[in-house]
Amino acid sequence: DGRQALSLVRAARPDLVLLDIMLPEMDGLEVLRRIRSSGNTPVILVTARAEDLDKLLGLELGADDYVTKPFSPREVVARVKAVLRRVVLAEAPKTLVRVGPLEIDSEKVVARLGGVRLELTPTEFRLLET
């Protein structure tokens, strides 16, 4: 049920939640609202509700994706992988990148070549970083 699901999410802190909308005790949309109020755990809604209004509501409440039943297990796995890829990329710290003798520190906005600091304009730094 929804209350137990919310309790499990808070206790286990999963990497991703597959959440049905139609749950007893507390519906999945309320569970989603509460998950969103306390963090950014990715949530994919899995439901029989296929109406556009239901999809829009779920996405507006913060769902990362919406899958309608019946669905292919392969599709769900692919969607989970896609959401997790986005999360990893979004959370990846921009820190130090080394390419041969070149070091680019995005956090400090500093570039060094062979240990010697390069004097770059902000535009030059962004181009080098890219």
| Listed residue (50, 91, 45, 81) closest to 64, CA to CA | 45
Considering the entire predicted model, what is its pTM? 0.68
Helices 52-60 and 28-38 cross at an angle (nearest 10°) of: 20
Q: 123 is in which domain, residue-wise? A: 96-129
Structure tokens at 61: 């409440």
Q: pLDDT tens across 2-36, in order?
A: 999 999 999 999 999 999 999 999 999 999 999 99
pLDDT band at 123 (very low <50, low <70, confident <90, very high): confident
Provide φ and ψ at 18, rounded to 5°.
-95, 120
At 89 the pLDDT is: 66
Q: For residue 13, count CB atoms less than 10 angstroms from its CB and return exposed for 0-12, middle for 13-18, buried for 19 or more.
A: exposed
Whether residue 100 sits in one domain with residue 87: no
Please tell me the distance from the alpha carbon of residue 112 to that of residue 49, in angstroms, as a whole number. 55
Could you tell me whether strands 17-19 and 43-47 are parallel, antiparallel, or unpaired per DSSP bridges? parallel
Give helix then strand counts, H and E, for the chain. Answer: 5, 7
Q: pLDDT tens across 33-63, in order?
A: 999 998 889 999 999 988 888 899 999 999 9
Whether residue 107 sits in one domain with residue 78: no
DSSP state of 118: P
Whether residue 100 sits in one domain with residue 84: no
Q: Return the CATH number at 60.
A: 3.40.50.2300
How many structural domains compose the chain?
A: 2
Helix (H) or strand (E) holding 87: helix 73-91
